[in-house]
Structure formats: structure tokens, C-alpha cells
Structure 1
């Protein structure tokens, strides 16, 4: 039963991202490289967050301190990967056969790098958790709740998708010098991350419902930023 729980939670968190990677990224080596590069930049933000946490001894036990600076470091490195990709566009045009799609549609670079951010973020937040799901015991006996693993997987999935959407909005904001959109990305990231602090009290509904509400609103706004409209949805339905 514990093995079934392990695979179930794994597919909840990484099933949709795996499908996104398979159908939109895996066919293009350049996109794979960009995804890995973005994941590396997220790891650098984690390294700096860890160094700051280690250096500020009095606040090590304060989760809010580490959380806020972790979010800020992630957004700083999101901006760095944005600048790197924009400067590398000329080189990318030379090494890919699909440069018309990859370069002309700037949202693709944002989407790929955002998914890289999200996948590595989800992996670091969940791997150690679901590794314990294999056994020999399971949650819910004497202490804890049996919903812990499933909730952790659902939370990780939401952040993987949010990072993807945030990057699309963030890149678009930087291209158009839209400080309001940048503030929305940073603010919603801080809010979503702070909601996870409620999980220590095992009030999972109080964190998951607002978190997925933020995800839905961010997805709609990302669709609009990427040029989508109600008319385009109707056209897609009619084409089918």
C-alpha cells in the first residue's frame, strides 16, 4: 500500500509537468537546454537562500524569514535568466532549426524557463517527503494525518504550474517595462508561499483552496498576456 501511495503522489505532482515536457519541449534539444539552464539558476537561488539562512543565526528558527528571502532570490534569478536568454537569442537562432517559433514567439522561452524553475522547485520540495511514503509505515497512525503526502503533492504541482505562469508574465513585463506585472508576480509568489505556512497546523484546506485560486487566476492572466482571447478559444473549439 505504501508503494502505491508513493507512485500515486508522484504522478499527482509530476504527471502534468511530465506531459508538458513530453509534448512541448522534448522534441527540441535547444528547449531542453534552456529548461536545464533555468533549473540551474533556481538552484543558485536556493544556494544563496541557504547561505543567508546559515549566516543569520538568530533567525534560523523563523520560517517566515527564510521563506521571504527565498522567494526574493528566486525572482532575482528569474530576472537573470530573462536577461541571459534575451542576450542569447542571436546564438539560439543559429543552432536551432525552429528559430522562427522559438525566437519570434518570446513566450516560448518564458514558458520553457518557467517550467524548468517549477520542476526543480517541485523536486526539491517533494522528493524527500514522498521518499518516506514507501514505508515501512504510513501517516495517520498515532500522529499526523493520512492526507499529508497527497497534500504535499498537490502543493508541489501548484507551484510547478505557478512558476511556469509567473515566468510568462514576468518576461512579458520585462519586455514591456511593466512594473505592475512584475509586482504582481513577486506579490503572488510571496502570498502563495506564505500560505504553505498554514500546513504546519494541518489546516490543509486553508492553504490549498487559496493556492489553487491563485493558480486559476494566474493561468487566466497568463493566457491573456500570451495573446489569448475568448475568440481564440471559440476558434479552437470550432476547428475541432
Structure 2
């Protein structure tokens, strides 16, 4: 494969998610940690899916049978991460509560303020807590950071090996489309799935918080649909019939996630 096609596929597959990570996630240390956590949990789901694939011989050749179990492991670990995230954040006092407490202290009478300041460590504890929570992201950014970790890890794991093989002098074509480079098709899939992991995570976390089964169902159905559409790239299938639905599902999730954020007032909270 030529260097022009190599770098074109490389930037096409990874640029959007990496730019989003550098421009949004990397500016907050807590978001970076949650992004790493999302990557780790996705790898754990793939590890369990691989073990499940190995111990059941029929799954090694029947791809249509592998997909539901792989998605089930991913969604189970997504919900597990949500429970862990809720346990770590929901019981903590918010920044507004800490600031309200400080404003109340400032409005106290001089003698009462002086009496409270005599207690050792009171101000230092509150100030430390305020500094800790001042960079605390909201739920939407947190879920997007977790999805970014999963999406970038997916793109590197699933597409990195294909890109490595592209360093040779020849080219490789899809069985369903002998005239289209497999590296270019894989770059499109890597882009769609990496973006979808972010959108799925934002929508799913919103659904978990509000107990909205429709949001969770949309994530599950779209995940299953785009995964099965990829099987059209096998011999006898149609790569156009696989690529077009993948792009349409990605666009649909963009619109649906945006509407979900508007419904939950997440847009104004980010601003």
C-alpha cells in the first residue's frame, strides 16, 4: 500500500477521537482517569468474550453466534462501570454545596466565625475539598470520557493490526468488494465504531440514571445491528450494504444522543 493511502487511512480512522481526547478529555485529570478506566473495562469485556469463544468450539467458526455474546459482555461491563461511577460520585457533596457552605461562613457574625476558625483544620479541609471538586466534570463529560477510552482502544486493537499489515508493498481487498481496499474499509469501520462507543456511552449512562429503557434499548439494538451488518463483508456479501448502514447508524446515534442531552439539559450544564 502506498504511503499516501496509509497515512490517509490512519488519520481518517483515529483523528476525530484523538482530537476530541486532546481538546476536551486531556484538560481534566479526572476525565483522563475515567477514559483509562473505560479502556480497561472494554479490554476486560473482550478478554471474557475471547475466553467464551475459546471454550465453545462452534463459536470459533460461526461468527453470527459470536456477536450476541460479545455485545452482551460489552454492555454488561458498561453497566458495571456505571454502577462503579455512581458509587464513587453520587455520595460526594457537589461543588455548589461546598460554595454555599463557604458563603454561609462568610456571612456569619465575627464572633461566630472566629469561634469556628478556632477548630483546627476546618478551613483547610473545606478549601481542599473545594479545590478537589472545582475540576469535577459533569455526568455527560464523564460518560463521554469513558466512551472515548473504549472507542480509542477499540480502534487501536481492531484496526492497528490491519494497519501494521499495510506496510507491505501490495494491497489487500475485501472478499465482498474486490475493487475496494480492505484498509480503507477498515478505516471507515474504525471511525464509526470509535465514535459510536462515545455516543453509546453517553446515551446508555443517561438511560441508566433516568431509568429510561428506551435509551438503553436504542444502544443495544444499534450495537447489534451494526455488528451484524459487518458480516456482509464476507464472501458473497456486499461491502456497500455494510458500509452505508454503518454510516447511517452512526449519524442516527449522533442525532439521538444530542436529543437525549437536550432532554436531560446536559448541553447547558456543559456550558
Question: TM-score, length-normalised on structure 1?
Answer: 0.87
**Does the CA-based 8 Å contact 1:39-1:117 persist in structure 2?**
yes
Which residue of 158, 181, 188 corresponds with 2:222? 188
Stretches of structure 1 that go unaligned for 5 or more consecutive residues are none
**What corresponds to 1:5 in structure 2?**
5
**What corresponds to 2:248 in structure 1?**
213
Q: 1:23-172, aligned counterparts within 5 Å?
A: 23-89=23-89, 90=92, 97=131, 99=133, 102-103=136-137, 105-139=138-172, 144-172=178-206
Question: Quick one: structure 1 residues 96 and 216, their matched pair in 2 at CA, closer, same or farther if it must change by over 3 Å?
Answer: farther
Q: Give CA deviations for 1:22-66 in whole Å, capped at 9, x if unaligned.
A: 110111121111101110000000000000000001331001111
The alignment covers a number of residue pairs equal to 229
- Alpha-carbon separation, structure 1, partners of 2:192 and 2:55: 31
**Does the CA-based 8 Å contact 1:102-1:108 persist in structure 2?**
no
Question: Quick one: structure 1 residues 100 and 10, their matched pair in 2 at CA, closer, same or farther if it must change by over 3 Å?
Answer: same
Q: How far apart are residue 2 of structure 1 and its match?
A: 2.6
**Does the CA-based 8 Å contact 1:102-1:109 persist in structure 2?**
no
SS of structure 2 residue aligned to 1:138: coil
Question: Quick one: structure 1 residues 99 and 126, their matched pair in 2 at CA, closer, same or farther if it must change by over 3 Å?
Answer: same
Alpha-carbon RMSD across the aligned residues, in angstroms, is 2.6
**Does the CA-based 8 Å contact 1:6-1:131 persist in structure 2?**
no
SS of structure 2 residue aligned to 1:226: helix
Q: Give CA deviations for 1:67-124 in whole Å, capped at 9, x if unaligned.
A: 2211111000110111111111139987895746744x31111111111111111111
Q: Give CA deviations for 1:117-153 in whole Å, capped at 9, x if unaligned.
A: 111111111011111111132235xx94442111110
Question: Quick one: structure 1 residues 151 and 137, their matched pair in 2 at CA, closer, same or farther if it must change by over 3 Å?
Answer: same
- Alpha-carbon separation, structure 2, partners of 1:30 and 1:151: 34
**What corresponds to 1:174 in structure 2?**
208
Which residue of 231, 234, 237 corresponds with 1:197? 231
Q: Larger Cα Rg: Structure 1 or Structure 2? A: 2
Greater mean deviation of Cα atoms: 199-208 or 162-171: 199-208
Stretches of structure 2 that go unaligned for 5 or more consecutive residues are 96-127
- Alpha-carbon separation, structure 1, partners of 2:7 and 2:129: 38
